[in-house]
Structure 1
């Protein structure tokens, strides 16, 4: 090796390294592997979605009536016994109106995280029963 070749060696290595990185990147794209930029974009989008979900949850909580001192007897709903009533109360559900206002997402969360009985709420029509009991006790549903 002469002196000129040794001087060009770092540039040649940099050039080969760039070619290698380009080829690896191209291969990863063809395989559908997300890049670091893709993952950062996804992370930012997830942060935005989570912020929107928190805002919606806060809005939903604001629209729910404040709990009254007196809880309704949830055991009057077929399918709810003392144990389930205790679990629901522990999750902050104490009134017919709260059950009557359950959304699909609320039902999914209750069944998986609180009562641990998949399909029970719909099968026993807790929402319909809660609406009837509310109307019977308080009058028309708001």
Structure 2
């Protein structure tokens, strides 16, 4: 006759409970298996919907590029976004980089008219903010350029 001590009985019960739980989870009728399968189905449908939206976006972009007679060039998106938000493309002023344009926007300058109307004190403040040598704005004649751009003239007039 075989006798078990208390530790062996406890270990045997733990193993039986673990086996029973694993059996429930692995069985086709188990609640957890059904939940896992449902989650997998939801995930697959979400992936399909995402892929369909991405494909539709690519098709719309291709259609817009065909209508505009070519792909969108560098800087075009910035100019369009600026026009939508009531901003001019200040980087069209000779001497203003894209980074400086962002600094100008942060300082509250969004339109050519604002640059054209700068006074000497505002110029000095902007030069300090942009890290330019004193007199740079006057030397590069940003006010005249901004005035001309506001009237609809192209950047080519300024270099």
TM-score (norm 1): 0.46
Larger Rg: 2
TM-score (norm 2): 0.41
